[in-house]
Amino acid sequence: METMEKMRVSEQRGPKIFLSGSIRGGRQLLDTYRLMCDTLEEAGAEVLSWHVADPELEKTEMRMTEEEIYIRDMGLLMKSDALIAEVTVPSTGVGYEICRALVKGIPVLCLHSPDAAVSAMVLGNPGPLLEVRAYPDKASLQKIIIEFIKAL
Ligand SMILES: O=c1[nH]c(=O)n([C@H]2C[C@H](O)[C@@H](COP(=O)(O)O)O2)cc1CO
């Protein structure tokens, strides 16, 4: 009975999302990552990599080795149902995570501001799991995210 109850609760949980955003590539869009994280949580999703939107991130990650960061993030990615990346600020880590998510076979949504110089590796990728959208303003960003979550 208890197991059935647990199953029902876990079935009701929203999708697990890996939020991907630049860290060493530059933190200038931190407010946007914060908005994405809040929007996802309000839409009922569980953001496994919430640390990407944490203004205090540098302090916590400074206490971790490079290997610990990599292992933690790949573990979270493997548990995720989908990945949402903000690709306006070019970042090696974001590009790597997009690729790993596609190899794992989960849907990937890449979002960017209309004037961003997004890589052809993202814009030119015809894979059915990858969706790339420009957002002209914050309201559009939120709308695209909510539609993506609902369609999962
Ligand atoms: O300290 C970190 N913590 C961390 O979670 N990451 C992951 C999550 C981000 O989506 C992505 C950012 O990569 P980059 O640092 O190359 O911009 O890599 C990356 C770093 C630093 O490279």
- 88 burial (CB, 10 Å; 0-12 / 13-18 / 19+) is buried
In the block, tokens 């149902």 appear at: 81
Give residue 20's pLDDT: 98
Sign of CA dihedral 39, 132, 30, 138: negative
Tokens for 150?
Answer: 């609902």
The pTM is what? 0.93
Q: Using a 6 Å cutoff on CB, does residue 80 contact ligand 1?
A: no
Give residue 1's pLDDT: 43
Closest CA relative to residue 73, chosen from 24, 38, 125, 111: 24
Find out whether 20 is annotated in a ligand binding site. yes
Q: Using a 6 Å cutoff on CB, does residue 94 contact ligand 1?
A: yes
> What gap in Å lies between CA 77 and CA 19, rounded to an integer?
9
ipTM of predicted assembly, 2 dp:
0.99
Q: Which of 18, 19, 20, 23 to mutate to test the pocket of ligand 1 (most atoms within 8 A of CB)?
A: 23
22 Cα nearest atom in ligand 1: 17
Give residue 13's pLDDT: 77
Calculate ∠ Cα 135-140-141, nearest 5°. Answer: 65
> What gap in Å lies between CA 144 and CA 33, rounded to an integer?
14
**pLDDT by 10s per residue, the chain, length 152:** 445 544 444 455 799 999 999 999 999 999 999 999 999 999 999 999 999 999 999 888 999 999 999 999 999 999 999 999 999 999 999 999 999 999 999 999 999 999 999 999 999 999 999 999 999 999 999 999 999 999 99
In the chain, the domains with their CATH numbers are: 14-151 (3.40.50.450)
Give residue 58's pLDDT: 87
